[in-house]
Amino acid sequence: MNDVRDFSVHRAALTHDINVLLADVQAFLRDAAAEAGDQTAQTREQFKARLGTLQSRLQELQAQGRAQFRDLAQAGDEYAHAHPWRVLGAGVAIGAACGALSMLALGRRG
């Protein structure tokens, strides 16, 4: 379960960082468009190409993340259907442990 949570946190951070980078590159392109000259136009085209590559790579990473999460969820669902009593037992055990810890914590306060 930690793997899923860690993956989600890293994915969110990566997405945020890339979106910030894309915004900076787009702002640079707008500023560069205001300047005149052949070299500026060539540089702008290079940045546009890199921006397109970066956007497509981000879309690929997002698709991979969705596919991995879907596969993980499907595997969990298949396991739960194949072993319902194990899943139920694990849930009861976790609930009992949480209840015991809660009672210990409340007992120490009083």
Name the nearest CA neighbour of 49 among 25, 31, 23.
Answer: 25
Higher-confidence residue of 75 and 55: namely 75
Q: Mean pLDDT, to the nearest integer, of 64-79?
A: 92
Q: Is 42 helix (H, G, I), strand (E, B) or coil?
A: helix
Q: Mean pLDDT, to the nearest integer, of 86-104?
A: 93
Q: Mean pLDDT, to the nearest integer, of 48-67?
A: 85
Range 14-51 burial, b when 16+ CB lie within 10 A, else e? eeeebeeeeeebeeeeeeeeeeeeeeeeeebeeeeeeb
DSSP per position, 64-82: HHHHHHHHHHHHHHHHHHH
Residue 65's CB: how many other CB atoms inside 10 A? 16
Predicted confidence at residue 99, as pLDDT, reads 93
- Overall pTM surpassing 0.85 (yes/no): no
